Chain A
Amino acid sequence: MVLGGSAAQAQPAMSREYELKAVFLFNFLQFVEWPPTAFSATESPLSIGVLGDNPFGRVLEDTVRGEVTRGRKVTVRHARRVSELRECQVLFIAASERGRIAEIMAELGDAPVLTVGELPDFATRRGGAVNFFFQQNKLRFEINAAEAQRRGLKLSSQLLSLAKIVGPSLSVGRN
């Protein structure tokens, strides 16, 4: 999906912020490769799960509606419990879940899921893969590449070149 026409605004409104995040979530699908084990079937959709209180409203659904990426339909699911979102390839952990991050991570284990959060230390210390943050009023993201690699995900170098890399350095050739 493309960015909205009003991205030049210095202080985006709440909805504006989540419109951007929805687009970014969708765009992650283009630059990340999941292992085949992440899908229960060849025709399984690419799912974006939202855990916790939904900050997107209907924006996320609007963004992905009718989209097809690498031959798979793109869907959005909402849940309070991790177990309900095991089938998802991208898991957005809302800020409402800040108190039980460790619990969620434990429950996920090694599942090939791209975890995306919006807490300051989500990627650096709490085991998340991607974390949104603002810099000079622009939405950016940081990536714990080691974490993503541990879960069997391949991140595009273009994606990595746009992100702030955190966490341990990449161990090349692990797989």
Chain B
Amino acid sequence: MEWLQHLPIRRKLTITIVSICGAVLLLACAALAVFEFLDFRRTLVREATVMADIVGTNIRAALAFDDAAAAREVLRAVAAEPHVMAAGVYTRDGRRFAEFLREGVKSELPDVSAMEGARFEAGALNVFRPVVLNEKWIGTVHVRTDLDGIRDRLVLFAGIAALVLLGSMAVAFGLSAWLQRPIAEPILALAETARAIAERKDYSVRAARQSGGEVGVLTEAFNQMLTGIEEREAALHAVNTTLRGEIAERRRTEEALAMSEQHYRSIFANSPMPMWVYDVDDLRFLAVNNAAQAHYGYTEAEFLAMTIKDLRPAEDVPALLEDVARAAVGSSHRGEWRHRTKDGTLIDVVVHAHDIGMKQQRARLVVAEDITERRRSDRKIREQLAWFAQLDRITRAIGERQDMGSIFQAVIRSMEEQMPVDFACVCLYDAAMETLTVSRVGVRSEALATQLTLAPHARLPIHENGLSRCIRGQLVYEPDVTKVPNPFPQQLAAGGLRSVVLAPLLVESQVFGVLVAGRCETERFSSGDCEFLRQLSEHVALAAHQAQLHAALQRAYDDLRQTQQTVMQQERLRALGQMASGIAHDINNAISPVSLYVESLLETESGLSAKAREWLGVVGRAIDDVSHTVARLREFYRQREPQLALAPVRLNRIIDQVAELTRARWWDMPQQRGAMIELRRELPRGLPEIMAVESEIREALINLVFNAADAMADGGVLTLRTRTVERVRAGEAQPEMLVAVEVTDTGPGMDEDTQRRCLEPFFTTKGERGTGLGLAMVYGIVRRHGAEIEIDSVVGRGTTMRLLFGVAEPKSATAGPAPAALKPAARLRLLIIDDDPMLLKSLRETLEGDGHVIVTANGGQAGILAFQTAAPDARFAAVFTDLGMPYVDGRKVASAIKSASPTTPVFLLTGWGQRLLADGDIPPHVDRVLSKPPKLRELRAVLATVAVDDQP
């Protein structure tokens, strides 16, 4: 291998690659040759075996029929294969039956039978195969072939292998020549570079990096090494140059130094900062610059005669000495001191000191910076910040308050405690009256305020003084009020105040008040104080304005809530009214027969006992009251005042009736509980009559008696009293005569709140038992009569309810026609239509009592039918019909009858009657509307008109 090492790298690589290729190919060819040889031998055996088998099959019959000639024919066919040297057939017992020998081949056929298989012997292949007939072995076939085939095949293979080998080597050579370049070239380039550097000593040459990998790294490292060498060479060169330069520089410096000393001396002398140098040991000034002379006022000569102690106030000297002693040579330090100038003014300075050695003396250079102005502005800023903080606190305090009074209180308190001031108050301005009213005075200022007659609610007239300027929106500061001749400042001065600030409170450029602050010394308000008060007054004004807005909003909200409640109340009343009107209708229908029969009985039954007559009278009145009560139910849903039919009424008589009607309540029911109510009546004779609706008055009194009885659960005295009262009305000379009726109980009485509210609808003290409508109804009745109601009640003593009525004008009673006169002269044929059988029956019976002929119809349809089918000689003079009926109502009936006979009067008889009359809502085709319960009198009056009409 040694020879290989001396070859160039290119050749080394080529030889290596080609050798490897050759060796590998040779190995592969040898392996293939062995395989080929073995494979060909196997093929040979197989071919010979197949041949022998074919011969065996074809030769079966010849062997079976012992035909040797035929057997030879078969064997001859084998001769077609040139490699077959000989073939033979043997019988089972080993006898040679037939054979074939190629020319030139000696008969060497083995005389062997029962051999099977293939054997290579003596350059030939012998194959033995059995002949089988009917699954029996009947003989053996022998084929011998030569091995020339193998030899030819191997020769051919060797030739091909040699060609492939040569070709491959050539390709390997070509490829290796190409592939070895990436390896060889960078190395060659590197070698070339190295050679060039060696020849020229030029270290700036660099090997080009052509590839990555180890060669690349090598190139890199080589280049780096070159760079290192190059740098070191450059550095050496630079050092050389520098050294030369430095030598020149030093020469120049020495020249400059001389100039520089002069220069620094000038800098020291002309520096704008005061500077000096002093001896640390005896503290005398050694040098002073111009600025120091100008600032402190001493001349240089004066300075040099002084020590630094002379610049300090005497009290600072010990600290100075301590500081000087502490200073070490070479150190710098900084300190704040007070210095005194020549004219004695003290100034604040920051001193920068630096120890220097100066001609064997221990000296110290000092630069003094005057910071007096800075200190002053710092103080001012701090002061302002404090004001801001205070303003913030006060603003917060008033921000939490919502009414003006407490806002003012908070402000004044803050001013007194935090500013502080000796006197503080807030006045409100009344533009119309041109006065200020003291609203709030500080807690500490109260004594002073009383002395100054400035207590709350005191009024101050505004003259041409500080106040008027303030009212115009200016902040007024009087440093000494004693010097101002006007009354208000003098008033303040009299109280011991000297300096006073008046700050206006403005909202939208309008002054609504003044903030007053005072101190007992003159000139005690700085401009900062004034500014603070001005800003404070703005904040206060804003807060007060907001409080006013808030209050207004609250009022608006309250109004809204009250309105809402009223609306809800009205809604409830309307719903109740609708219900009430339905109930009224039904009640009117139900009591109609009672009313009719009572009236009829009293009129027609002359044989009644006095007691029966009296009782029937009570029943009649009760029924009348019921109907009136029911009629009044409409007040719940009607806004309009009804037209009252007032008549003269005797109160005493009504009180007797009320006592009778309410007996159950004040007598029977309390007795069941074991309580006793005593009823007293104080009814003077000769009481004037009043103009009223009797039933309503009765109703009101019944309600009052009920309430009085209910108030006395444990018994007591119930007094019903009437009397006349004289009262003088304001602005009238003549006293007015009134009639009073009082209901007094000895119950627990009402407190103030209950008294105030007891007349409201739905207000009740009776819990579930009460409706809250009783007194409301009483109040309604009283109002309708133009009367008044008074409540006298003492808790624990009892209550008196008093109704006051005007006295009736004495006038002739409007007597209607006598009932007897209303009796009709004629007998009339009448049709009465209603869906209530009870009512029909009662009407029929009472009117028949008057001699009329009555036909009744139960329902609208039946009524119309009855009218239309009436015989010509039995026509109806008039028709009474109900309004509300199922299917066909009163309006339809009226319309049908008028269309059939326009002249026949139709009277509507209805439980809604009152309401229809009151609303003026009389349906078309109806001549009159009569209310239920019907009065016999009214019926007669109506029929009288019919009778007149029918009697031309």
Residues of chain A having any CB pair with chain B under 8 Å = 2-3, 5, 7, 20, 24, 27, 30-31, 67, 69, 138, 141, 156, 158-159, 161-162
Contact = CB atoms under 8 A, between A and B. Distances in A.
A3 B68 CA distance: 13
A24 B61 contact: no
Given A7-B66, A30-B134, A158 B58 contact: yes
B72 to A, nearest CB: 13
B92 A158 contact: no
B64 A30 contact: yes
Interface residues of B, number: 16
Contacts of A3: 66, 91
Contacts of A141: 65
Contacts of A67: 134
B691 interface: no
A156 B60 CA distance: 11
B138 A162 contact: no
B938 interface: no
B235 to A, nearest CB: 113
Contacts of A31: 61, 64
B93 interface: yes
Contacts of B62: 158, 162
B92 A27 contact: no
17 contacts: A2-B92, A3-B66, A24-B65, A27-B64, A30-B64, A31-B64, A67-B134, A138-B66, A141-B65, A156-B61, A158-B60, A158-B61, A158-B62, A161-B61, A161-B70, A162-B61, A162-B65
A29 to B, nearest CB: 8
Nearest to A161: B70
The 9 closest A-B pairs by CB, nearest first: A158-B61, A27-B64, A3-B66, A162-B67, A162-B65, A30-B134, A162-B70, A162-B61, A7-B66
B133 interface: yes
A1 B666 CA distance: 159
A27 B70 contact: no
Interface string B88-101: 00011100000000
Contacts of A30: 64, 133-134
B348 to A, nearest CB: 145
Contacts of A7: 66
A161 B58 CA distance: 10
B761 to A, nearest CB: 127
Contacts of B60: 158
Interface in B49-72: 58, 60-62, 64-67, 70
Contacts of A69: 134
Given A2-B136, A7-B66, A162-B65, 14 more contacts: A3-B66, A3-B91, A5-B93, A24-B65, A27-B65, A30-B64, A30-B133, A31-B64, A69-B134, A138-B66, A141-B65, A158-B62, A162-B67, A162-B70
Contacts of B70: 161-162
Contacts of A2: 64, 91-92, 136, 138
B563 to A, nearest CB: 125
A24 to B, nearest CB: 6
Contacts of B67: 162
Contacts of B61: 31, 156, 158-159, 161-162
Contacts, number: 35
B50 to A, nearest CB: 19
Nearest to A5: B93
Interface of B: 58, 60-62, 64-67, 70, 91-93, 133-134, 136, 138
A67 B134 CA distance: 10
Residue from the set B60, B64, B67, B70 with the largest chain A CB neighbour count within 10 Å:
B64
A3 B67 CA distance: 11
A4 to B, nearest CB: 10
A24 B64 CA distance: 8
Nearest to B92: A2
Contacts of B93: 5
Contacts of A5: 93
Contacts of B133: 30
A155 to B, nearest CB: 11
Nearest to B136: A2
B91 to A, nearest CB: 8
Nearest to A24: B65
A95 B519 CA distance: 184
A133 to B, nearest CB: 13
B218 to A, nearest CB: 87
B60 to A, nearest CB: 7
Nearest to B133: A30
Nearest to A30: B134
Nearest to B65: A162
A138 B69 CA distance: 12
Contacts of B58: 158
A56 to B, nearest CB: 18
B126 to A, nearest CB: 25
A123 to B, nearest CB: 16
A9 B66 CA distance: 13
Contacts of B65: 24, 27, 141, 162
Contacts of B91: 2-3
A34 to B, nearest CB: 15
A129 to B, nearest CB: 16
A162 B70 CA distance: 7
A5 B66 CA distance: 11
B77 to A, nearest CB: 12
Contacts of A27: 64-65
B64 to A, nearest CB: 5
Nearest to B68: A138
A2 B113 CA distance: 16
B329 to A, nearest CB: 141
A2 B61 CA distance: 11
A64 to B, nearest CB: 12
A62 to B, nearest CB: 16
Contacts of A161: 61, 70
A31 B57 CA distance: 12
B877 to A, nearest CB: 136
Contacts of B66: 3, 7, 20, 138
A2 B131 CA distance: 12
A158 B136 CA distance: 18
A158 to B, nearest CB: 3
A162 B65 CA distance: 8
Contacts of B134: 30, 67, 69
B532 to A, nearest CB: 140
B55 to A, nearest CB: 13
A162 B66 CA distance: 10
